[in-house]
Structure 1
Amino acid sequence: MFPPSAVLRRRRGFRRRSPPRHLGGAEVTERHRLTRIIRLKERIRDAKRGALAAAEADRQQATARVEQAEAQVIELVRGYCATGDFDARELVHRASLVEAAREQREAMQAQLAELEEERDRRAAALAEAGREVRSLEVLDDRLAAEEKAAEGRREQAMLDERGVRYQRRAG
């Protein structure tokens, strides 16, 4: 029978598309390039936003662990003080447990500080990506305005030329 492309051409309203830009189709304009860059930068910004959210979640989990460790230390000390009767070995054992809990809490606080620094770095990267996107959008708006003004000038020149031709014919 007919190849599929011939069938498509026979259908009513079928319009043959120009080849893709990378194959020498329609000309790639500055505005098109800028639009593609903006879309790419927006995807990068969204990825950085996701990384920031993950860092914030990690920080919140670390904060909860630190608070839990602090509560554990306080509970150990309260429990040991409430009994009142201590012999030397039990006192040394309880002191070592309190010290271990305190060291664990300090390690968790150090980890929390690192996570907060990471979150701050990611927030700064996200802010920079946002500024980049906004600056490119401003450039895109300017380019669109310039293209619109150039189109208006071309149309006005064409109308002026038609007017001159009409006057020459009439005069």
Structure 2
Amino acid sequence: MLDAIDRSLLRHWQADATLNSAELAERVGISPGKAARRLARMQDAGVIEGVGAVVDWAALGYSVEVSLRVTLDKTVARAFDEFIEAARGVPEVTEIQTFLGRVDARLNIIARDMPHYHDIYRDRILTLPHIADIEALMQIARIKSEEALPI
């Protein structure tokens, strides 16, 4: 579906999302119109989902990140749906993933400090429906965080 020019456009845009289609075209070696049409085609096809800002939550005063592995009560028919819907409503939950296996979901939580995390955990996480078990993993260091795909 993607040819070498498309992949090159995506590589350059992932590296610097502030580039406009004329700047991308110059880097790839095509006309600005051709670059704009190709980008529009990839957006229409769902290859490019959107362009946004990456905010460093630590710069905003959040110094604690915790990953919670959650096992749900599977005897309840809508446990997954109700848990996910409620977890989406917790502002400090930055990511939700679901799994097959013993662990059903993983929540990524950010907090300003440990007392703030304790409040979030006690008041918002433990009140989520259908939790059978939770395992908390405290992040010590982020070794690699790459959103760009190897195109």
Q: TM-score range by the shorter chain?
A: under 0.3
Question: How high is the TM-score relative to the length of structure 1?
Answer: 0.20
Query: Which has the bigger relative contact order, CA under 8 A and spacing at least 6?
Result: 1
Question: How high is the TM-score relative to the length of structure 2?
Answer: 0.21
Q: Larger strand proportion, structure 1 or 2?
A: 2
Q: Larger helix proportion, structure 1 or 2?
A: 1
